Structures are given as structure tokens and as C-alpha cells.
Amino acid sequence: MTQAEVLVGDCIEKMRTLADSSVDSIVTDPPYELGFMGKSWDASGVAFRVDVWREALRVLKPGGHLLAFSGSRTYHRMAVAIEDAGFEIRDQIMWVYGSGFPKSHDVSKAIDAAAGAVRQVVGITIKGAQSVSTGRYGSWGEGITPTAPATPEAERWSGWGTALKPAHEPIVVARKPLVGTVAQNVLAHGTGALNIDGCRVGTEGGTAKAGLPSYVQGISLKGSLDGSLNGGGPVSIDAGRWPANLIHDGSEEVVGLFPGDEGASAARFFYSPKASKADRDEGLRDGGIGALRDGGRPSEARRNIHPTVKPSDLMRYLCRLVTPLGGLVLDPFTGSGSTGKGAVLEGFRFLGIELSPEYAAIARARIRHAVGHVAPEPVTEVQASEAPRGQMRLFA
């Protein structure tokens, strides 16, 4: 049966209590170190510390994979720290979406403000959306009130800003060095490879030209192989398309970037929208979570207050990609538990670490709810004998 636990505390201290080579994969969403929404935990520098990732390397089995999200501005710092800790950087997955909002500084307004000039309102205030007058975006709380430049200098710099619209988040794909060859490592530790067939995209498949491998070209094998190899016609591939290092949110903006009928070619890639309210709050209303927001209003009780929740479908896919059957997934930066929710729904065991007791409580409720929706499956003697040992348990 799926087992899960969330530990509360510093991730380095908690990882130091784990045995060497005791987890099968690490799937995590560390702080992006951007100071998002003024949160101190997003400006601590912990994601850039080599000692964090060195502990992660130690507890991973040889060949175990690490998947870690980051921001476009700070990814390089995290990736270098991961590499300096001893990981091999294998790839980078891009999660592309159309719903990001630019956090740009209006240069024209700044010039007028510095000059003490009062700008004339020329349109209506729109909250959390694009201004019909200027085409620019505003914050959800304050909205946009279109105004006209009040000085010649502000007029000159009208339309200039300081940031692009965020539309992707990079995910580092790293691996602990193998012991021997891939085949030897997989047989010895159950790690080192990606679950390609388990993560193929779609079921419509595709076609490939029939033929023989290059090393047997020119050799007549008629009568000894399936006839499809001799006719030269297309061979059906009905298992779905090979998983790519691009994931998108299925939004109209992103799908429209792909060629083909109405963006049909976008179906070649796995897609996962940003977390919906139902996904964020699932399991909280029956999980005993009270009002946790600062100055919590009654209407905000039993809601997921974490500001950067990842969608469960995306975390399920990522856990499935790098975790062997019955494996243990570790998330040192658990947050509100999206990795854990995705892991248990895929039938994996999960160990999370979260510094904030408030977020840990939310994570436990969400994961507990997910565990309740996983039908127990019989474990074979082979699976049981190969499963990593530990003191994992379901939440009390």
C-alpha cells in the first residue's frame, strides 16, 4: 500500500537522518530565490547551496534522477550548485504556459513620479487583466489605471518597461553517477533509466518507415523476419509519442504557437495546465485544516494558501518519468504537497520535508486525501524484497 510522510524542519538536517542510497528519485520545487510576494523563504539562497544538493546526492541511489524546478532568471545558479554537488546534468525540461503576468516597471510613470508630475487618467481601472487602453498588465490587487504621460521625458519613454511576460519554468534533469553501465546499475539498484513507455504522449501514435537496422542492411532476411520489414511500407507506432523535454499548459496562447490544424501538433507534447482551485484545495475541507492565512478570515479557512502550487497532473507525470515501480520519491522542499500528491496517486511511496509547519499541515491533508483514493495493489515477493527499507508510514 502507498505510504507517505512529511517531516517538518530544515531540509539539510532532515536529509542527514536518512541512510545513504535510500531513495529512488527526487522531484522537487525549490524556492526560485526571487523574493516572490515578499516571502522570506523565497530569498534565502537555499536553492543555490551546494551542501543541500550534496545531501540529496548522498541519499539517492546510484543512477537516481533529480528533477528540480526553478525560475528563468535563477535557474543557472541552482543548476551549477547541483552539478558542483556531484550530479550529472542530463537535460532540461521546459514547462511552457500562457497565463504568466509580467512584473514590469513602467519607465514613463517612474519618470513622472520622480519629477512630481501628476498624470491624467485616460481609461478605466482593470484588475488582474490586460488594460484595454494600453495593453499592459497590472497586479491582481491594484489593477491598472491607464494614464497619460505628463512630461516630455515621460512621453519619450512611454511604452518602455523592465521585464518580459513569464511564459516558462525550467526543470533541471540531473542524475547521480552510475555504478558500472546503465544495464548493471538498473539491475543492481533499480535506478538509472527513464520510464519512456510509461510517459509516452497520447495513444494516436505515429508511423515509421519499415526497414532493417543499419548493421544488417544489405543482408537478405526474407522468410526469417516479419513481412512488414521487407515491404518498405510504414509501420504503425501505437504506443504514443516519445516524451519530450517540453511540457505545455494546453492554453490557447501556447497551442497557437504550434503549426498544423488548430495547433494539433501540440498534442505531440505532454500538457498540464496550472493548478486549478479544485486541485489546490482538494482534501483540505475534510482534512481538518483551519484558517492559516495571516490574519486569516473565516472565508479563507481550509484553503491552500501556498502561493506557488504545482499541478498534480504535472507532478504525477514527472514522478512516473524517473521513479521505478514501488519506488520512494523524496521532496526536500515539499511546500503544499503537490509532489507527494502526485507520487502517491502513481503508487509510489513519498517522503517530504517542509520548513513551514503551516504548509506541512496543508501538504499532509492533500496527500492523505490522495492516499485515500489509491486502490491498494498486491505487492509481489520480488517487489517487497527489493523495496527500500525505512520507517515510512501513513499519516496518523
Three state DSSP letters for 122-161: CCCCECCCECCCCCCECCCCCCECCEECCCHHHHHCCCCC
Enumerate residues 6+ apart whose C-beta is below 8 A from 129: 137, 138, 143, 144
**Alpha-carbon gap, residue 301 to 304, rounded angstroms:** 9
What is the secondary structure of 255-323 as a DSSP string?
HTTS-SGGGGGGGGS-B-PPPPHHHHHTTTTTTT----STT--GGGTTS---SSPPPHHHHHHHHHHH-
The answer to whether residues 361 and 292 touch, using CB atoms and an 8 Å cutoff, is yes
Q: Give residue 302's pLDDT.
A: 62
Domain boundaries, the chain: 4-100+166-201+243-386, 107-156
**Alpha-carbon gap, residue 6 to 353, rounded angstroms:** 6
**Alpha-carbon gap, residue 273 to 66, rounded angstroms:** 22
Q: Is domain 4-100+166-201+243-386 annotated with CATH 3.40.50.150?
A: yes
Enumerate residues 6+ apart whose C-beta is below 8 A from 282: 312, 366, 369, 370
- In the three-class reduction of DSSP (H, G, I as helix; E, B as strand; rest coil), residue 360 is classed as helix
- Residue 291 CA to chain centroid, in angstroms? 27
The answer to whether residues 201 and 267 touch, using CB atoms and an 8 Å cutoff, is yes
Q: Give residue 261's pLDDT.
A: 56
- The answer to whether the Cα torsion of 177, 95, 321, 268 is positive or negative is negative
The answer to whether residues 306 and 362 touch, using CB atoms and an 8 Å cutoff, is yes
- Residue 33 CA to chain centroid, in angstroms? 16
List the one residue out of 63, 66, 64, 61 whose CA is nearest residue 47.
Answer: 66
Q: Give residue 130's pLDDT.
A: 44
Q: Give residue 35's pLDDT.
A: 67
User: With 0-12 CB in 10 A as exposed, 13-18 as middle and 19+ as buried, what is 70?
Assistant: buried
**Alpha-carbon gap, residue 11 to 343, rounded angstroms:** 19
Given the C-alpha cell 526571487, which residue does it identify? 34
Per-residue pLDDT of the chain (396 residues; tens, 9 = 90+): 458 999 999 999 999 999 999 999 999 999 887 766 677 777 788 999 999 999 999 999 999 999 999 989 899 999 999 999 999 999 999 998 887 777 788 999 999 999 999 999 987 766 654 443 334 444 444 567 889 999 999 999 999 999 888 889 999 999 999 999 999 999 999 999 999 999 998 754 433 334 433 333 333 333 333 333 334 444 444 568 899 999 988 888 888 887 765 556 787 888 788 888 888 888 887 544 543 443 444 444 568 887 778 889 999 999 999 999 999 999 999 988 999 999 999 999 999 999 999 989 889 989 988 887 775 554 333 333 343 333 444 443
The answer to whether residues 343 and 27 touch, using CB atoms and an 8 Å cutoff, is yes
